[in-house]
Amino acid sequence: MGSVDRLVSVEDFRQLARRRLPGSIFEFVDGGAGQELTLAANRADFERIRLIPRVLTDVSRPDLSTSLWSQSFATPLVISPMGSCALVRPGADIAIARAAAARGIPYTLSTMSTTGIERMAKAVEGPLWFQLYVLKDFDFNRQLVQRAQEAGYSTLVVTVDLQAGGKREKDLRNGISIPLRPSARHLLEGILHPAWSLRLLRGGLPQFENVRGYLGDTSAGLTIAARVGANLHAGFDWDDFRRIRDWWKGRLVVKGVLHAGDAASLVAASADGIWLSNHGGRQLDGAISSIDALPAIRHALGADVPILIDSGIRTGMDVIKAGASGARAAAIGRAALFGAVAGEAGVTRVLEILLEEIANGLKLAGTPAFSRIGPDLIA
């Protein structure tokens, strides 16, 4: 793996990404909406949680496994859905998915991924989930769901917090938007980052294969991405959700939930799991952090309904804190994408770091198994 062996934290990979990527691309990945209040809260609220370790417990063989829907997974990690990953490095989607599959970690493919549903299924032998952005055209929504089902994806993740795109001020200033607004700054950044530029020239601009054909547009580039962005279904309601639930015969998880009442209503409407998320601070600025929303939602749902969480997870200790607050699994997005700057080897190293941190954290907390973490661990 070369130089990535020397990196010892996700923050190290974030700094590597800052160095290797043009500034506007790094800010696209790293930034959030508005004043970035929620982006900051996602980290601050994890950091303020304090743990009360136990002692004289045999922790010689920490067990990182977790259970979702009576199925055991080797780790408590999941990969969050991410679009436009090819801007970081061509093939980043598949690099992340392969590194995850090697550790039995589910990979969630975004509707707006730069690798198509069928291509990903052929490229990766591991647990695959598909994330649906709900568009105004319900025939097209159904086509996406059917394609994922036919390709063998085990879980459908329906995102409910994208009624419109959040105002990302850094991207607006940088011109990293859809449609893209090229400028002299981008040219200069490309010159100053020749390795990134050469890879992009060889790989081409991101292609959004899953939405090819939407509204009759046979392209898969930035034009179709702009059309999708203009056709997010702001009227998505409970009747629409029930239609999607009827289409999908497997497990269905709802992503983007922060309100305990919504979580309970979704479970009553046959959701199989709830994924707490504020979209990594990229949507509603000023929204509560996922980790702060977690205890109330766990209380509302009881112990049996699987809860996943993302937004702000950067260390193994964050995963342990999420588990103690009631999550069965923690999902990472940016952390994996920072690793992808160095290709599959970089993602592999990021996952190794997180899993090592979880194992070490369980030992030091006096907890022999992730599945046995409870609220008594939190001060």
Q: Could you tell me the pLDDT band of residue 2, with boundaries at 50, 70 and 90?
A: low
Q: What is the pLDDT of residues 245-274, one digit of tens each?
A: 999 999 999 999 999 999 999 999 999 999
Note whether 255 and 160 are within 8 A (CB): yes
pTM: predicted TM-score of the whole model, two decimal places? 0.95
pLDDT of amino acid 359:
98
Task: Determine which of 41-45, 135-139, 186-190, 362-366 has the lowest per-residue pLDDT on average.
Answer: 186-190
H helices within the chain, ranges in order?
Answer: 10-20, 23-30, 37-47, 92-101, 117-123, 138-150, 169-174, 184-192, 194-203, 222-230, 238-247, 260-268, 290-301, 316-325, 334-340, 343-364
Q: How many residues are listed for the chain in this entry?
A: 379
Query: For the domain that residue 331 is a member of, what is the CATH number?
Result: 3.20.20.70
> Phi and psi of 303, rounded to 5°?
-85, -15
Catalytic residues: 279
Query: What does the pLDDT average to over 335-355?
Result: 98
Q: What percent of the chain has pLDDT over 90?
A: 81
Task: State pLDDT tens for residues 308-322.
Answer: 999 999 999 999 999
How far is the C-alpha of 70 from the C-alpha of 65, rounded, in Å? 12
Question: Does the structure show a pLDDT above 90 at 84?
Answer: no
Mean pLDDT of 27-35: 95
Residue type, 347: V
Residue 200's pLDDT band (boundaries 50, 70, 90)? confident
The total number of structural domains in the chain stands at: 1
List pLDDT tens digits, range 212-246.
878 677 676 666 677 788 889 999 999 999 999 99
Instruction: Work out the mean pLDDT of the chain and round it to a whole number.
Output: 93
Q: Write down the pLDDT at residue 191.
A: 87
Share of the chain above pLDDT 70, in %: 96
Q: How confident is the model at residue 171, as a pLDDT?
A: 85
pLDDT digits 0-9 by tens, 133-159: 999 999 999 999 999 999 999 999 999
Residues 331-354, mean pLDDT to the nearest whole number: 98
CA–CA distance, 291 with 296 (Å, rounded to integer)? 10
Q: What is the pLDDT averaged over residues 84-97?
A: 94
| pLDDT tens digits for range 160-175 | 999 998 999 988 888 8
Domain containing residue 341: 2-377
Please identify which residue in the block is written with the tokens 């989607």: 93
